[in-house]
Structure 1
Amino acid sequence: MKILVIGAGVLGLTTAFNLVEDGHDVTIVDKAGPYAQASSRSFAWINANHKLPAEYHWLNRAGITAHEEFQKRFANHGTWFHQHGCIMFDSSPDKATGYDERFTESAELDYPVERIDSDHLRELEPTVSWPTDSGLFFPLEAHLDNEAFGSLVTGFLEEASVAPEVAEAVRVETNADGATVEFADGDTRNFDQVIIAAGADSGAIADRSGLLLPVADLSQPGPRTHSLLGVTAPTDVNLNRIIISDKINVRPRRDGSMFVQIPSVESRTEEGESPQLLDEVQAAMEAELESLFGERVPLERVIFSGRSFPEDGLSIVGYLDEHHRAYSLVTHSGMTMAPLLGRLVADEVRGDSSPLLKAFRPSRFADGVLSATPSTFIGRQ
């Protein structure tokens, strides 16, 4: 089949890769180019931690497994999936209750978790000046070198003579015979199927096409749609795994720098991006980093990043039209689930439906759209 993938972020690229492997004639477009938007600005914590309801947890859990398999399959290309686990700690007065609730929830879902004391914390990350004497450890979790992963998949596509085009798809019209796509430059092209994997732009494309795809509007900034991500300068501080807490989220990057988030400042995304906001957030991040590591770790920049957020907080995966020509692929957990969803979408194009996707079909919005605000649990991603 002749298939268009709209969006060259992590979801679009992995979907295109799987479609090419299945022998389809694939075109992939993105208005800003490959990996130019949210996928390059992701904290990329690969996890199924507190991702509820249970169906969503299991979808994310399968995403972790898909990453493991993808890394093993292409191990000769290097390492981009770092499964060293995640340390979670809480410094608040009611941390014991929070730990108990998270531990119980994880155990009920058979999601590996360990209670760890101060000795174990120091053993896992000796360079950290731990502000607590206890925490939780999630051994299945990982961080992804997102840019390395994107380059890898883009390279595989280019080897198959499928290079992402810089082009903006604005509208899709479907019928029993296929789909016609209109582009911003006035061009129109015909395809057998179209996969809409354009992140936060997916909702607008669907709306112009007369299709229902409820995605939060990026023009209204706030914690649902935006985040503040710090990037440190390369540092000698040795950090091996992700740390998630009520104070700071931090993870290593392959060049010796770190990604940083400060939960307490996320609400300030409602102010919109400004030089003053970024300067103040940078100061807050550097203060938390110094507190955590006992030495100054300067930031190179703070990124005000938009992200894809389905209105009810859950993935939207499936056909949008009666002719089964326009397919939606939108999720808030794209980094965790990209290898999985890319494969499942390609399977569905072939006619094989996955039970993992049953709860995430666009048809669930037929009776109205439910809007969800992200919960405030430690480590919201």
Structure 2
Amino acid sequence: MNILVIGAGVLGLVTAWNLNEDGHDVTIVDKIGKYAGASHRSFAWINANHKLPESYHRLNAAGVEAHESLQKEFAAQGTWFHQRGCILSDSTSDAQENYTARVQESNEFGYPVETVDRARLLELEPGIAWPTDTALFFPKDGHLDNFTFGDLIDDLLAKAGVDVGVREVENVETTSSSAEVTFADGGVESFDQVVIAAGAESGPIAARSGLTLPVASLDSPGPRTHSLLGITAPTEVALSRVIISDRINVRPRSDGSMFVQVPPVEHRTEEGESTELLEEVRTVMEESLQELFETAIPVDEVVFSGRSFPEDGVSIVGYLDDAHRIYSLVTHSGMTLAALLGRLVANELDGGKEELLEDFRPSRFRHGIVPESSDSFIGKQ
């Protein structure tokens, strides 16, 4: 089949690669270019940690396993998936209650978790001045080197003769035999199938095509759709794994720097991006890092980052039209799910039906949108 993939973030690239591997004629386009959106500014915590409902947890757990398998398959190409676990630390007055609930939930889902004491915390991460005497350790969690993984998939596509085109899609119209795509440059091309994997832009593309794809708009910033992501200078401070807490989230990067988020300032995304905001947040991040590591770690950059966020909080995967020509692929958990969804979507475009995706079909919105429920889970991103 002749298939167009709209969006060259992590989901679009992996899907295009899988489709090419299956022998399809694949075209992939992005209005800005490869990895230009949320994929390059993601904290990239790979996990199935408190992903609700249970079917969403199962999907994310399978996503973690897919990364494990892909890393083994392409180990000779480098390491991008660092499965060293995640430590969740809660210094609030509700810590014990929160820990108990998280352990119970994880046990019910069969997702490994350990309660660790201060001695074990110092064994896992001796460079941290732990503010708590207990925490939770999730050994299946990890983090992804965004660009290392993106470059791998892009290289695999390039070797197969598939390059990312910089083009904006205006709309898609379907017939019983094809999908007619109109581009912003005025061109019109015909494809057998179209995959909309353009992140937050997916909703507007669908709307211009007369279809419903409820993705939160980035026009009204706030902690639901945006985040403040800091990138530190390279440092010799030791950090091996993801740290998630009520005060600060950090994780190492391959060049010796760190990604950092400070949950108490995330509400300030409502102010919109400004130089003043980014500088003030940089100061808070550096203070929080000083407290966590007891040494100064400069923050080189703070990014006002937009997210791909389905209105009800969980993935939207499946056909949007009755002719089964336009397929949606939108999720907030793109980094965790990319290796899995790229394969499952390719299977479905070949005529298969994947049980793991049944709870995430666009058809659930036919009777209206149920907004995401409020949740104060530490580390929710």
- Distance, in Å, in 2 between the alignment partners of 1:122 and 1:294 is 14
- Whether contact under 8 Å (1:242, 1:251) holds in the other structure is yes
SS of alignment partner, residue 20 of structure 2: helix
Indicate if the aligned counterparts of 1:3 and 1:192 stay in contact, CA closer than 8 A: yes
- What does residue 62 of structure 1 align with? 62
The residue number in structure 1 matching 2:338 is 338
Aligned to 1:349: 349
Q: How does 1:1-381 map to 2 (within 5 A)?
A: 1-372=1-372, 375-381=375-381
SS of 1:15 mapped into structure 2: helix
How far the C-alpha of 1:370 sits from its partner, in A, is: 1.7
CA distance in 2, matches of 1:103, 1:47: 15
Cα distance in structure 1, aligned partners of 2:310 and 2:175 = 26
Q: Deviations over 1:59-100 (max 9, x none)?
A: 000000000000000000010000000000001122111111
Amino acid at match of 1:291: E
Q: Distance in 2 between matches of 1:203 and 1:221?
A: 16
Shift of the alpha carbon at 1:13?
0.2
Preserved contact between residue 224 and residue 373 of structure 1 (Cα < 8 Å)? no
Q: TM-score, normalised by structure 1?
A: 0.99
Give the Cα–Cα distance (whole angstroms) in 1 for the partners of residues 276 and 375 of structure 2. Answer: 27
Deviation by residue 1:270-308 (Cα, 9 ceiling, x = unmatched):
110001110111111100000000000000000000010
Which SS does the other structure have where 1:328 is aligned?
strand
The worse-fitting range, judged by mean Cα deviation, of 248-257 and 179-188 is 179-188
Which 4+ residue blocks in structure 1 deviate beyond 6 angstroms? Answer: none
Matched-pair contact (CA < 8 Å) for 1:172–1:209? yes
Tell me which amino acid in the other structure corresponds to 2:120: H
Contact 1:224/1:374 (<8 A) preserved: no
CA distance in 2, matches of 1:277, 1:118: 36
User: Hey, what's the Cα distance between the residues in 2 that align with 1:267 and 1:239?
Assistant: 27
1:154-187, Cα deviation, whole Å (9 max, x unpaired):
0000000000011111200011011011111111
Query: By how many angstroms is 1:374 displaced?
Result: 5.5
Cα drift, residue 48 of structure 1? 0.5
Give the secondary structure class of the aligned counterpart of 1:120. helix
CA apart distance, 1:229: 0.2
Letter in 2 for 1:278: L
SS at match of 1:366: helix
How many angstroms does 1:371 deviate by? 1.9
> 2:224, 2:347 → 1: CA distance?
31
Identity of aligned residues (%): 64
Q: CA deviation at 1:375?
A: 2.1
**Letter of the aligned partner of 2:230 in structure 1?**
G
SS across alignment from 2:359: helix
Cα distance in structure 2, aligned partners of 1:378 and 1:177: 48
Q: How far did 1:376 drift?
A: 1.9
Amino acid at match of 1:78: G
SS of 2:4's equivalent in the other structure is strand
Rounded Cα–Cα distance in structure 2 between residues aligned with 1:18 and 1:222 = 34
Shift of 1:373: 5.4
Per the alignment, in what secondary structure is the counterpart of residue 264 of structure 1? helix
Alpha-carbon RMSD across the aligned residues, in angstroms, is 0.7
Counterpart of 1:367, as a letter, is: H
Amino acid at match of 1:372: E
Aligned pair count reads: 381
Q: Distance in 1 between matches of 2:218 and 2:373?
A: 14
| 1:145 to partner: Cα distance | 0.2
Q: Quick check: 1:2–1:191 contact (8 Å CA) kept in 2?
A: yes
Return the offset for 1:224: 1.2
List per-residue Cα deviations over 1:130-175 (Å, max 9, x = no partner).
1110000000000000111000000000000000011111200011
Compared CA separation, residues 227 and 373, structure 1 to 2 (3 A): farther
SS of the residue corresponding to residue 215 of structure 1 reads: coil
- Secondary structure class of the residue paired with 2:367: coil
Letter in 2 for 1:182: T
Tell me if structure 2 keeps the 8 A contact 1:313–1:374.
Answer: no
Cα contact 1:374–1:380 (8 A) shared by 2: no
Return the alpha-carbon distance in structure 2 between the equivalents of residues 374 and 363 of structure 1. 23
Contact 1:89 1:132 in 2 (8 A): yes
Over 3 Å counting, the alpha-carbon distance change for 1:373 and 1:271 in structure 2 is: farther
Matched AA of 1:288: S
Q: Secondary structure at the match of 1:221?
A: coil
Q: Deviations over 1:4-45 (max 9, x none)?
A: 000000000000000000000000000110001100000000
Q: How many Å separate the matches in 1 of 2:374 and 2:63? A: 20
Aligned mates of 1:150, 1:306 — CA distance in 2? 18
CA–CA distance in structure 1, aligned partners of residues 240 and 225 of structure 2: 29
